[in-house]
Structure 1
C-alpha cells in the first residue's frame, strides 16, 4: 500500500542553535581555548594602553598665564610663622583652628567651624551599605566630647550665581603638627588668598582645613555628610574657653553644588630623584573613579607647565620580577612581529615599559577590586563629585628657604591652573571616561578594551552548563528503552525535573550557609578582648558546625543522590550570575574573581571519575583540580594577592580576620562577593571533586 502523502521534512534548526549544539558537543576544547585566550588578552593589556587626552575642550589647561607669584610665597611664609606659633601655644587646643579662621576672615571669606566625632568602626549587618556618618555626641552637661574641628572658608565668586563650587582640602593633625603639614596649610592658604582676589572666578571656592587626628577620610566624610544632610542641634553648649563665637559653630556655611575637589598635601622628603614629584590617588569606594579629564588636567599642568614628575601607585615587587621580565620579552617580540605584518597594529612595547605598565596596572586593578578608597577623595566620590588626591614629594629639606619658595610657586601655580580649568566648565565632567585602568599617569585602558579578557573567560560558562545538563538528561532518558511510554514519562519526571530540583536545593542550602557565615563576624566581634587569631578560629569552627547542621536538616549533596554533572552545571550557572552582577558593581573584583574561579569551575571533575583514565592525563587532571581548589579557597586567594601586591608571603590566620574586618568597615562590595559568590562556588567545587560518581542507571542496569 503506497503512502497517501509524503511526510514533510523536519525544518533545520537555526544557525545559532546549530552553533550552540556544536560548541556544546566540543565544550572541553572551547573552554580551554577561551580561558587561554582570556589570560593572553589580560597579559596584552599593558601594550593596548592609549595615551590620555582631553575630551572637554572647555578645560583648556595652561591657556592663561598664572597669577601666583613671589608675593603669594611671602604670604605663605608669614602664615607658616603664625601657624607654628599657634601650634606652640596650644597642644591639642583650638589655637591652630582659630588662627586659620582669622587668616581667612582677613581675606574677606565667610568662615565657620565644623565639629565631628571619630567614626566607630565595627561589624553591623544592617548598616553595611550606609556611608560612614558622624553624628554629634554630647556629654551629659551638653558639651562636645573627644571631637575634631574642621575649619571652612568660602569665597563667593564675583562672576557666579552661587550654584557651583570648587573644593580645596588640606588635611593636618592639630594634635601633633608636622613640618610638611604646616607647608601644606601654607600652600592651601596662599592659593586661597590668590583666589580671593581673582576677578575671573565663576564658581565659589571652599577651603576645608580638615582635622585629621581621627583620619583624613573621617574628617572629610563628616563635613560632606553635614554639607549634604543638614543636622539641627539645639540647646548645645560650646565650651571653648572663649576662643570662638557661638555663631561660628551653629551656622554651618555652604556653597553651591560641588563641581570638583582637590585634596593636596606635602609628603615626606624623598632621598632620591632629580625633581619634585606629585603622586595622584584616584580610586574611590567599590572601584569608582573620577572622570579621566580631571586627572589629565592635573598631569598636563604638573608635567608640561610646572616641571613635576607625576606618579601613580605601583606594585614595586613586580618591577624586579624575573618571570614578568620574561613575559615582557615575549610580548615585545610578538608585538614587533605583528607590527611588521600590519603597521596599524601598534602592539610593540619595550620590555621595561611593559614591566612598569604591568606593575601600575596591577596596582590599579588591585585598588579598585579592594573597594576601599585610597584617600579622602573617596568621600567626595560617594556624593558623585569628581575628586583626586595629590601628594607632593619634595626632594629638598623642608627648612631650605630657597627651595621651599620655588616649590610653593610651582605648587601654587599647579593648583591655580586646575582651579582655572574647572572654573571654565559650564557643566559637570561627563565627556571622558569613568571606567578605566591606569598603566601610567599618561596612559589608560578603557572599558571597551579591558572587558575583552573578562568576556573570554565568561564565554564558556553557559556552553558548559548546557552541555552538562544535556548530557545528564540523555543519560537518564537512555536508562531502559524497553519501558512503556507512560513509564518513560514518569522516569523523565523523576529523573529530570527532580534531579534539577535536588541540585537547586543543594545550591540553596549552601547559599543560606554562606549568608550565615558572612554575618557571623558581627556576633564574634562582640566577644570582649578577642584577638584576630581567636576570632578567626571561632569563625571557622562555627562555619563548619553550621554547615553540618544544615546538611543534617536538609540533606547533603551525596545523600540526595544528585548527579555530579547537574551539580557542576548548577555551580556554573550560579557563578555566571554572581560574576555578572559583580561586574556591574565593581568590574575589577569580577575580573580577578573570574581569573581564579572560572578555571576552578570548568575543569573540576570527580576524583573517582578520573581513575579510569591513563596515568598521564589522570595525574595532570587530578593535580590541576587539587591546585585550583587550594588556590580558590578565599584565605589562600587572599594570601596570593597579598604576596603579589606587597611582596609578603607570611601566613597568619589573624590576617584573614583583619582583612575581612577591613572590607566590612569600609562597606566594600568585595566582602559580599567573597562570601556570597566565591565561597559557595568553592564549596560546590569541593563537592564535585569528592563526589562518589554513582551513575543514575547503574541500579537499573544491574537489575
Structure 2
C-alpha cells in the first residue's frame, strides 16, 4: 500500500501545471532563504499594514509565498496545491500568473490593510498561502452552489453550499488561534466576488493571451504550460455530500484491514515530531525575548539607598549570627526574637512536626510583621531567610542581610503593603508549614496555627546567601512544587533590576556560564524541565507558589566584586516594584520554559510536543479497539470468484479486559503507599522486593487469565484500555505539568508498540529482558546511578515531597506509568491459545 501511495503521489506531482510548480518552488525557496542570517526574508515580504506604501506595494504579492516556519509551509502547500492546480488547468497558465501575481493577491491584501489600519487601529502582520486557499474555496463554493444550492445532512437538514467555506474558516480559527481569521475572511470575500463574476473583468482577454502565446511560442519551449486552448474542466473540488453515504464509506474504510497498518506509523510520526518540536524550541524562530507585561512594576525606575552605614549594621548582625552556629532551633529564635522586637515590630512563633521516611522534621518558625505606613493590612510581601538552605548550609549572610533590610525598611514611609520577615529552621518543611497555616490549609495535629497574620500575600523573595566573601552573579531559583512557576514578570523584574540597574549577572538552572548559544539554551531548558518534572521543592520559595503567591529564591555565586549591599539593593528594588502593584500579578505567563534569562517559550509554543507524544497512546488505543472488532478469518477457503464483502464487526467481550485493567490500577496503590510511608532503613529492601514482584506480576496475571474463544481480542482490549488511560492522563497532565507529562510519555513510548509474542524464545527476550529494561524500577535505578545517587535517598526525597509538600510525582509514576507497564507485560507474555467456541 505504501508503494502504491508513493507511485500515485509521484504521478500527481508529475502532472502539476507550470504556475502551480512555480508557486511551490517560490514558497520553498523563500523558506530556505529564511534560514540565512544576513537577510530576513519574512520581515521583507510579509504583509504588515504600517509598512505598506508606494515603495513597499510588492508585499501585497509576496506575502502568500512566505511562511512562518516549515510546518506552516507544508500545511498550506498540501491545502492549496490541488485547488491551484485545478484553477490553472481551467484558466490557463498565463491567466493564473496574471491573477494570482496581481489582483487576486493585491485586492484581499489591500482590504486587510484597510481594516487593520483604519478600523482596528492595529498592525498585525500576516503571511502564508492560506489566503489563496480560502479565495479558491470561495470560487468553488459559488460555482458549485449553482448546480447544488444545498448540502444535505442526515437526509433532513440542509445548509447552503456557499456557507461551507465560512464554517471551515471558523473551524480553522478555533483550532489554530495563531492564524489570521481576518486575512482568511478577506481572501474568502474576494473569492466569492470572483465566483459571482463581479471581478472577472480583471482576467486578461483571451485574444491577447493567444497573441502572446503565438508570438513567444510558449507551448513549444515551456514544459507543463497550459495554453488558452488546452484548458480542461475537471470535476469540482466541492462535491455534494450526503452524510449517511459518507458514514457508510467511512465504516467500510474502517473495516479495511489495510487501514490497521497506518496507526503504528502515525503513532511513530507523532513521537518523532513531538521530540523534534522540543529540540526546535531554543531556536530564535520559536522562542521570544522576555518583557515586562505589568507596567505598574516599574523595575529599576527608583533609586536604591541601601548601603553606607547599613554595612556596619550588617556586620553587627552577622557577628551575632556567627555565634549561633551549632545552636538549636529554639536557641536561635530566642536570640533573634529580641533583635527583631528591638526594631519595634510584632513577632510570633509557630511550631510544626512532619513525619516522612521514618524521620521527624520538626522545628519552630519565627516571623515578624512590619505594618505599612500607607496601607491597611490587606496586602503583604514576604522576605524569607531560612537558617539552613536546601544543601543544609547555614545561611550565614542571608539572616543578617534580612535583619538589616528589615531595619532599613522600617525607616521608610513609602510602603503600601506590609512586609513580613520569615525565619525558618530549614528550607522545605518550615516554609511549607508557615504558608499552609497562613492560608488555614494546615493539619492542626502537625502544624500550629499562626497567632499573627497580615493581608493577602502579593509576593515572596527568599535569600540563600550561605557563601562567604564577595560574589560575581546572582542565581534565580524559581521552580515550585509540582512544576508550578511564579509569574514571569517577577523574574523579569529581578533580572532587570540586577542586571540592568546594578550590573550584576544573572544565571538560571545552575548554568553558571551561558553563552546564549543553542547548546546552552537547550541545556537550560532541559534542566528546568527535569526539576519541574520531579516536582520537588527547590528552595523556601517553592511552598508559596501553589497558593498563587509569586516567589523566587536569590542565591549569589562566584567570586567577584559584588558585596552584601549590592545584594540588598537588588532585594530593595524588587520590593519597591512589588510595592507598586495595585493587583496580583496576572498579565504575564505562568506556564513557560526559560532558555536564558532573556529568552523563553510560552505554553502555546511548547505544549504541542507533549500532546503529540500523548496522542500516540490514544492513536494506538483506538487502533487496537478497531482491531479487536475484526472478525477472525473463516476456516473454509474462498473461491477466486467470490466477491469480497465488508465483514461484520465481531462482538467484543469487555468484562475480562476491563477487570484486568481495573485490577492492575488497584494494585498500583500498594507501591504508592509503601514507598511514601516506609522508614528509610526499609526503603532499599522494599524496592528490591517490589522490583522482583513487578517482574513476576505480568507472568502471573497472564497465566491466571481464563481461556477465552478469542484470546487475541482480549489482549488487544487490555492494551487498548491501558493505553487509552495513559494517553488521557498524560494529555490532561500536560496542561498542568508539561515537563512531567513529557518525561513520563517518552519513557512509556515503547509500551505502544509491544505485542503478544508467540515463541518461548521471543517471550524470554521481549518479556524477560526488554520489558524489564523499560520498567519504572529500572529507569529509577538508571537515573540514580547516572546522577551518582543511591535509591534510598531518591525514595526518601520523594517521600518527603509527598508528606510535606504534596508532590504528586509518585502518583504519576506508580499509578499511571507502572500500571501501563504491567498491562503491556500481560499482553506480551499472554498465552495465545483459546478455549472452545460455543455452538449456537
Could you tell me which of 819, 831, 839 is aligned with 1:680? 819
Distance 2:266 2:578 in 1: 50
Could you tell me which of 149, 153, 164 is aligned with 2:368? 153
After superposition, the Cα gap between the structure-2 partners of 1:63 and 1:668, relative to the gap in structure 1 and judged at 3 Å, is same
Aligned CA-pair RMSD: 4.3
Distance 2:574 2:373 in 1: 19
Q: Which runs of 5+ in 1 are unaligned?
A: 1-7, 125-131, 135-146, 234-248, 320-349, 397-402, 483-490, 612-617
| Superposition deviation, residue 29 in structure 1 | 2.5
| Superposition deviation, residue 407 in structure 1 | 1.1
Q: Is the 8 A contact 1:282 1:290 kept in 2?
A: yes
| Superposition deviation, residue 193 in structure 1 | 1.6
Q: Relative contact order (alpha carbons < 8 A, sep ≥ 6): 1 or 2 greater? A: 1
Could you tell me which of 417, 428, 433 is aligned with 1:222? 433
Matched, 1:75 2:324: no
The CA deviation string for residues 281-325 of structure 1, in whole angstroms up to 9 with x for no partner, is 111111111111111111111111122221222489xx9xxxxxx
Task: Describe the SS at the equivalent of 1:276.
Answer: strand
Distance 1:117 1:662 in 2: 14
Residue in structure 2 matched with residue 209 of structure 1 by the alignment: 423
Q: Is the 8 A contact 1:506 1:556 kept in 2?
A: no
Residue in structure 1 matched with residue 780 of structure 2 by the alignment: 638
Task: Describe the SS at the equivalent of 1:373.
Answer: coil
Task: Describe the SS at the equivalent of 2:821.
Answer: helix
Residue in structure 1 matched with residue 167 of structure 2 by the alignment: none
Residue in structure 2 matched with residue 381 of structure 1 by the alignment: 545
Residue in structure 2 matched with residue 358 of structure 1 by the alignment: 522
Residue in structure 2 matched with residue 11 of structure 1 by the alignment: 245
Task: Describe the SS at the equivalent of 1:385.
Answer: coil
Distance 1:695 1:231 in 2: 55
Residue in structure 1 matched with residue 661 of structure 2 by the alignment: 507
| Superposition deviation, residue 261 in structure 1 | 0.5
| Superposition deviation, residue 120 in structure 1 | 1.7
Matched, 1:576 2:727: yes
Structure of larger gyration radius:
2
Residue in structure 1 matched with residue 220 of structure 2 by the alignment: none
After superposition, the Cα gap between the structure-2 partners of 1:306 and 1:425, relative to the gap in structure 1 and judged at 3 Å, is same
Distance 1:623 1:541 in 2: 17
After superposition, the Cα gap between the structure-2 partners of 1:43 and 1:548, relative to the gap in structure 1 and judged at 3 Å, is closer
Could you tell me which of 383, 389, 410 is aligned with 2:566? 410
The CA deviation string for residues 469-501 of structure 1, in whole angstroms up to 9 with x for no partner, is 22332224867899xxxxxxxx989x5231x33
After superposition, the Cα gap between the structure-2 partners of 1:531 and 1:676, relative to the gap in structure 1 and judged at 3 Å, is closer
Could you tell me which of 291, 300, 320 is aligned with 1:53? 291
Could you tell me which of 437, 459, 464 is aligned with 1:260? 459
Query: TM-score if structure 2 supplies the norm length?
Result: 0.61
Task: Describe the SS at the equivalent of 1:367.
Answer: helix
Residue in structure 1 matched with residue 236 of structure 2 by the alignment: none
| Superposition deviation, residue 160 in structure 1 | 0.8
Distance 1:539 1:260 in 2: 43
After superposition, the Cα gap between the structure-2 partners of 1:17 and 1:94, relative to the gap in structure 1 and judged at 3 Å, is same
| Superposition deviation, residue 637 in structure 1 | 1.9
The CA deviation string for residues 474-531 of structure 1, in whole angstroms up to 9 with x for no partner, is 224867899xxxxxxxx989x5231x332222212222222234334467x27xx944
After superposition, the Cα gap between the structure-2 partners of 1:148 and 1:385, relative to the gap in structure 1 and judged at 3 Å, is same
Distance 1:663 1:220 in 2: 13
Matched, 1:496 2:707: no
Distance 2:758 2:515 in 1: 45
Distance 1:542 1:409 in 2: 58
Matched, 1:38 2:253: no
Distance 2:764 2:501 in 1: 59
Alignment of 1:86-165 (within 5 A): 87=324, 91-92=327-328, 96-112=332-348, 114-122=349-357, 148-165=363-380
The CA deviation string for residues 421-465 of structure 1, in whole angstroms up to 9 with x for no partner, is 000000111111111122222222211111121122233433333
After superposition, the Cα gap between the structure-2 partners of 1:481 and 1:540, relative to the gap in structure 1 and judged at 3 Å, is same
Q: Which runs of 5+ in 2 are unaligned?
A: 1-241, 639-646
Distance 1:62 1:446 in 2: 25
Q: Is the 8 A contact 2:329 2:364 kept in 1?
A: no
Query: TM-score if structure 1 supplies the norm length?
Result: 0.72
Q: Is the 8 A contact 2:474 2:555 kept in 1?
A: yes
| Superposition deviation, residue 414 in structure 1 | 0.4
Distance 2:659 2:474 in 1: 55
After superposition, the Cα gap between the structure-2 partners of 1:100 and 1:18, relative to the gap in structure 1 and judged at 3 Å, is farther
Alignment of 1:308-347 (within 5 A): 308-314=504-510
After superposition, the Cα gap between the structure-2 partners of 1:266 and 1:164, relative to the gap in structure 1 and judged at 3 Å, is same
Of 152-161 and 581-590, more deviation after overlay is shown by: 581-590
The CA deviation string for residues 309-354 of structure 1, in whole angstroms up to 9 with x for no partner, is 21222489xx9xxxxxxxxxxxxxxxxxxxxxxxxxxxxxx99722
